[in-house]
Amino acid sequence: MAGRNLPLISKKELSAHATEKSCWVSLYNRKVYDITSFLDEHPGGPEVILEHAGKDITKALADPDSHVHSESAYEMLDDGMQVGYLATAEEESELLARHKGMHVSPEDTSAERYDSVPIDSTGMKTVDLTDFGEIPDDLVHLKTDAEQDFKKYKFLDLDKPLLMQVLRAHWTKAFYLDQIHRPRHYGKGSAQIFGNFLEPISLTPWWIIPTLWLPVNFYIFYQGVTHLSPIVSIPLWLLGLFVWTLIEYCMHRFLFHLDTYLPDNQYAFTLHFLMHGVHHFLPMDRMRLVMPPALFVVLCTPFYKLVFAVFPYYVACCAFAGGFLGYILYDMTHYALHHAKLPKCFKTIKTSHLEHHYKNYKLAFGVTSTFWDWVFGTLIKPEDVYQKTV
């Protein structure tokens, strides 16, 4: 953003932008951002941001009791969202009062030079701000700058098809795992995985899941419940639903996060990327938050065959229908945790899952429930921030 002049903004003006139609915030009581366009994309939902609209969010970002943000979260602010600099009390009285609409430049910021600063082509004085204290490079940006991100990390160029980049790269396992778990926000729809006619198979709207699978689920349950008494069929259905929560936890922890045991080669990285890595890389991609039907069939088939091989047919129908419904609720819940405004009763689940993405991917594997995290000791605590290594 070198060379770009931006206005000094008073606290009164900042506080006036505190609605869904115009939402501004400041960071470090200095940089002012217009984040209106990001409200619907915020992982915690727009209501989390709107609580701080028109205010400084520095403490809120670091508050472990409200919405903890890791280093990855601080890599989410884009310079394109900055609209100005928050004026100090002295600047408001000494500068804004005398130079309405005054603009400042980010290059040279010594407060002692106010009386001798140059006048730009608009007739306004320009003041530089960096001497007011070091502002870290890792700020919360709302949309990843694909070019700058690639230059900085030499990982993936978001503006090019991703799959072949993973397949052709020569990364170490440590580098791949570190980078794939640093969330990026593409901000322009869905980044391309294939970049050709195969692209549509990687995109699944959330509504596909209930539309496609609920009728199948009800048919299977109908087969069982009409041949067994409710005293038998309902407990079997509930048992299947409960068993699903354990399957969900185990698959997420031991299959999708097969990180420690991942072979150290690009073919393994590519499979990991397609299975779950892309979701951690781009966690707010609306079209990649539920499981593509083809992948579900592949993963579900072994469970289907096992259940129907072990139990009598109608018993298996009831139990499998319960587990099947558990999966449907899981996928819909997963989408909602990322993009829906949920009642307060979902706060614990939502916080846990978002912290899995933005705080420590090695903990908090439950999505529809934190029960198994509690059982197996993988609940996430305030101090459990995963330290990035690259």
Written as one letter, the residue type at 373 is D
Question: Across residues 98-116, what is the average pLDDT?
Answer: 42
Identify whether 216 is part of a domain.
yes
> What range defines the domain where residue 52 resides?
6-132
Identify whether 144 is part of a domain.
no
Shared domain for 237 and 99, answered yes or no, is: no
The CA distance from 33 to 54, in Å, is 10
- Identify the pLDDT of residue 169: 95
Is there a binding annotation on residue 141? no
Token pair belonging to 235: 């407990």
pLDDT class for 191, splitting at 50, 70, 90?
very high
The CA distance from 248 to 237, in Å, is 17
Shared domain for 235 and 97, answered yes or no, is: no
Comparing 295 with 113, the larger pLDDT belongs to 295
Shared domain for 238 and 91, answered yes or no, is: no
Is there a binding annotation on residue 338? yes
Is there a binding annotation on residue 334? yes
- Identify the pLDDT of residue 320: 98
Question: Would you call 201 helix, strand, or coil by DSSP?
Answer: helix
Q: How many domains does the chain have?
A: 2
Identify whether 143 is part of a domain.
no
CATH number of the CATH domain containing 38:
3.10.120.10
Closest CA to 317 of 199, 198, 223: 223
Shared domain for 111 and 248, answered yes or no, is: no
Identify whether 362 is part of a domain.
yes
For residue 82, the surrounding DSSP H or E stretch is: strand 82-86
- Identify the pLDDT of residue 89: 75
Helices 208-225 and 313-339, interaxial angle, to 10°?
Answer: 160
pLDDT in tens, 269-304: 999 999 999 999 999 899 999 999 999 999 999 999
Alpha helices (runs of H) in the chain, residue ranges in sequence order: 11-16, 46-50, 58-62, 89-91, 146-153, 162-168, 173-180, 208-225, 230-250, 266-272, 278-281, 293-310, 313-339, 347-358, 371-376
Question: Across residues 122-131, what is the average pLDDT?
Answer: 31
Identify whether 32 is part of a domain.
yes
pLDDT in tens, 77-104: 544 677 888 887 777 766 655 555 555 5
- Identify the pLDDT of residue 205: 95
The CA distance from 273 to 169, in Å, is 13
Shared domain for 128 and 207, answered yes or no, is: no
Question: Across residues 186-213, what is the average pLDDT?
Answer: 93
Comparing 97 with 208, the larger pLDDT belongs to 208
Is there a binding annotation on residue 103? no
Is there a binding annotation on residue 227? no
Q: Within 10 Å of residue 92's Cβ, how many Cβ atoms?
A: 16
Shared domain for 124 and 221, answered yes or no, is: no
Question: Across residues 164-173, what is the average pLDDT?
Answer: 96
pLDDT in tens, 11-29: 888 888 888 888 889 887 8
Q: Are 25 and 52 in contact (CB under 8 A)?
A: yes
List, in order, residues 6 or more apart from 379 with CB less than 8 Å away.
352, 363, 364, 370, 373
Identify whether 189 is part of a domain.
no
pTM of full prediction above 0.95: no
- Boundary residue ending a domain (89, 107, 132): 132
List, in order, residues 6 or more apart from 123 with CB less than 8 Å away.
none
Is there a binding annotation on residue 99? no
- Boundary residue ending a domain (132, 160, 178): 132
Q: Are 273 and 177 in contact (CB under 8 A)?
A: no
Task: Check whether 233 has a pLDDT greater than 90.
Answer: yes
- Boundary residue ending a domain (73, 98, 132): 132
- Identify the pLDDT of residue 111: 34
The four Cα atoms 231, 237, 238, 240 give a dihedral, to 10 degrees, of 140
The overall longest dimension of the chain from CA atoms, in Å, is: 90
pLDDT in tens, 369-387: 999 999 999 999 877 777 6
Shared domain for 212 and 358, answered yes or no, is: yes
Identify whether 43 is part of a domain.
yes
Comparing 40 with 252, the larger pLDDT belongs to 252
Is there a binding annotation on residue 357? yes
Shared domain for 356 and 210, answered yes or no, is: yes
DSSP category for residue 227: T
- Identify the pLDDT of residue 132: 26
- Helix, strand, coil percent content, the chain, rounded in steps of 5: 50, 10, 40
Shared domain for 264 and 343, answered yes or no, is: yes
Shared domain for 215 and 358, answered yes or no, is: yes
Token pair belonging to 138: 């890792």
Shared domain for 225 and 329, answered yes or no, is: yes
Identify whether 59 is part of a domain.
yes
Shared domain for 212 and 348, answered yes or no, is: yes
Do the bridges between strand 31-34 and strand 82-86 make them parallel or antiparallel, or are there none, so unpaired? Answer: antiparallel
Is there a binding annotation on residue 17? no
Report the percentage of the chain scoring pLDDT > 70.
77
